[in-house]
Amino acid sequence: MRIALTAIMLPIVLLALVSAAMLVLPAPNFIFFQLGIAAQEWAPWFLLVLLVGVGVLFGLAPPNGLWRLINRLTGLVAIISFFVIAGMLVRGLLTDLRVRSNQPAVVDAGAGSFRLTQFALGDAAPQGVLREQNTVYAEVAGESLLVDIYVPPTAPVNAPALVVVHGGSWRGGGKGDIPAWNRWAAVQGYVVFDISYRLAPQAQFPAAVSDVKCAIGYVRRNAERFGVDPQRLGLVGRSAGAQLALIAAYSDATIAPSCDAPDASVRAVVSYYAPTRLDYYNVIKPELAPGALDDYLGGPPEAHAEAYRQARPATWVNQNTPATLLLHGGRDQFIRPLDADVVADALAQANRPYTMIELPLANHGFDFNLHGVSNQQVQPYVMRFLAQTLQ
């Protein structure tokens, strides 16, 4: 029995050790990268498992022999992993966010506080949030573009709407990657349209941006059906989807919608860790998404200079650019926080409303746990920003 417990705990502890290491070391590939995100945003569960593991290992150790040595080494690894994860958790909670903004009403209340009960239990299950799944919002180039629709618990009347654009390095991913966020937004009173779009390399820039604009047109055409106020529309994007959202929100008729959408304007855009510089020769971890820019923009900037120029959000910033919230992790292994600063600089120079929040210890994808350590800190900013710009 004691040998069996040690054998069970060994792979669990080794997995925790690798996850802990990814909090302080660069991830060699995408799987290790995901382990680091898990150790950070689900840290309390890791700590609980390791604490129980230490108790089991030292309390029920084999009496002697090789398995006793394995037991002791496994226990030592568990203790090391516990302190690494706990240390990074404490640092993350005690380190101030870096905030840039010309929207005092958005930032004055400060960041949210991490609550263990919310982390463990989440919010009460929303009652009456309807979901219409896999609705076709357009047929483009022989492809059906789909949308999932989340509606507030009470029948919306002239409600604000959010179009959500998923990430995936422009060539992967899919709508509905964070349904908990969509349900949260619906409970706040927003009608949420979580969309698909054409993917690279079959559909290169600006095809996906045109699809986002097409989706905005779909929302406007169906505003009465969904109880939406067509003048209170916002975009929310993550990673590559955030770059698409920013370009769709900022660009003019030079990039046309892929379907009938006479008005593709929005009032606000929320960008989670968007790539905005599209710096072909200066990426942090190219092995995490090899060839993504080649697939999306057709090749290096020397051969596709105009595509790169148009794909950079700062190119389009002007006196009509909508309010923008930029969220970025300081330890993002895909995209440097500088990408958010570049857009913030352009918005500040144009005197357009913006807020930029950098979480010093957060990585790419920090919001995939809606109630995680990082997202609990920034979610109040998201709520206040949307309330200020769309309500």
> What is the structure's pLDDT at 363?
94
Per-residue model confidence (pLDDT) at position 282? 67
Gap between the Cα atoms of 331 and 13, Å rounded? 24
- What is the pLDDT at residue 138? 97
Q: What is the pLDDT of residue 346?
A: 98
Per-residue pLDDT of the chain (391 residues; tens, 9 = 90+): 778 888 888 889 999 999 999 999 988 888 999 999 999 999 999 999 999 998 888 887 777 788 888 888 999 999 999 999 999 999 999 999 999 999 999 998 788 888 999 898 887 777 779 889 999 999 999 999 999 999 998 888 999 999 999 999 999 999 998 999 999 999 999 999 999 999 999 999 999 999 999 999 999 999 999 999 999 999 999 999 999 999 999 999 999 999 999 899 999 999 999 999 998 766 666 767 888 999 999 999 999 999 999 999 999 999 999 999 999 999 999 899 999 999 999 999 999 999 999 999 999 999 999 999 999 999 999 999 999 999 8
323-329 and 354-359 strand pairing: parallel
Domain residue ranges in the chain: 2-94, 98-390
User: What is the reported pTM?
Assistant: 0.94
CATH class of the domain defined by 98-390: alpha beta
Looking at residue 214, its pLDDT comes to: 98
Burial group, residue 281, by CB count within 10 angstroms (0-12, 13-18, 19+): exposed
Distance CA 312, CA 275 (A): 9
CB burial readout 204-217, b (16+ within 10 A) else e? bbbbbbbbbbbbbb
